[in-house]
Amino acid sequence: MTSFTMSSIDVLESNVLKSDMLYIMRHGKTDWNAEHRLQGHTDIPLNDEGRKMAQRAAEEYKDVHFDVCFCSPLIRAKETAQILLSGRNVPIEIDERLIEMSFGVFEGAAHVFKLPDCPIKNLFLHPEKYTVPVEGGERFEDVFARTNAFMNEKVEPLLQQGKDVLIVGHGALNSCIVAQIKKLPIEKLWSEDMENCKLMRLR
C-alpha cells in the first residue's frame, strides 16, 4: 500500500485554488461509455460529447494549479488531458501503469449486468469475490501492484517536493488508486463516484 495520508477526498466544484495537491480525473465520454460497453485496454477515442466534457472541465478547473500531469497511454485519457490542459504549461507524461484494468474477453460486451451468469459481474457487484479473472483479464491485485509502484516511484517524490500532481485515468484504474490511498477494503472499491471529467482531490 502507498504511504500517502489523506486528510480529505472531494470532487471540486469550480474555480477553486489549491496548492500542494494530488488530483485525479476520469477521461471524457466515449461511444462505448454511451453504449454501456466494457472498454478496458481497448483503445476507444472520445466522442463529441466527451470532447465537450473535457472542454467544459478546462474552463471549470482553469484556476486549479498543476505542475505535472500523469496520463494513461489510452487515447481517451490522452485526449482528455490534452484538451483539459490546452494552452497551459503543464507537461503530460504517459505512464503505461495507468492503463485501464483489462476485462479480457469481455471487452466490448454491453450491459454485462443483464447477462445471466456473467462471471465479470462480480468485478463490479462483489469485487471481493472477483479472485479469478476472466480469460485475458486482470486481477485487482495486478492493478493494485502496478498503481502502487507508480504512486511510490513517480507521485510521492513530487508531492514531497511540494508539487501539484494530476492523474488522468479510467474508472476502475482510478478507483484502485483511491482505494489504496484511503485504505478502503476491497468491498468498498466502488464507493467513490468516478464521473467523467470531474476533478477529485486526493490530498
For the chain, the distance separating the N- and C-terminal CA atoms, rounded to the nearest angstrom, is 16
Single out the residue of 130, 127, 132 nearest to residue 186, CA to CA.
127
User: With bands split at pLDDT 50, 70 and 90, how would you rate the model's confidence at 116?
Assistant: confident
What is d(CA 190, CA 179) in angstroms, rounded to the nearest whole number?
9
Q: pTM value? A: 0.90
Report the range of poorest mean pLDDT among 1-5, 54-58, 120-124.
1-5
What angle do helix axes 75-84 and 48-60 make, rounded to 10 degrees? Answer: 40
Please report where in the chains the cell 451468469 appears, as a residue: 117
pLDDT band per the 50, 70, 90 thresholds, residue 18: very low
Which cell goes with 129?
A: 469475490
Instruction: Report the run of H or E that residue 11 belongs to, with start and end.
Output: strand 10-11
CA distance 19 to 36: 36
Residue 11: pLDDT above 80?
no
Say how far apart CA 200 and CA 24 lie, in whole Å: 5
Q: What's the mean pLDDT in 88-105?
A: 98
Cell of 64: 486549479
Residue 172 φ/ψ region, left for φ over 0, alpha for ψ in the -120 to 50 degree band, beta for the rest: alpha
What's the Cα-to-Cα distance from 63 to each of 19, 88, 95, 182, rounded to whole Å? 11, 11, 25, 26
- Over range 163-184, report the average pLDDT: 96
- According to the model, what pLDDT value does residue 19 have? 52
Say if residue 5's pLDDT is above 80: no
- Report the share of the chain in percent with pLDDT over 90: 86
- Cβ atoms of residues 20 and 202 within 8 Å: no
Characterize the bridge pairing of strands 22-26 and 199-201.
antiparallel
The pLDDT confidence band at residue 114, using thresholds 50, 70 and 90, is: confident
Mean pLDDT score of the chain: 91
Closest by CA to 100, choosing from 24, 34, 172, 180, is 172
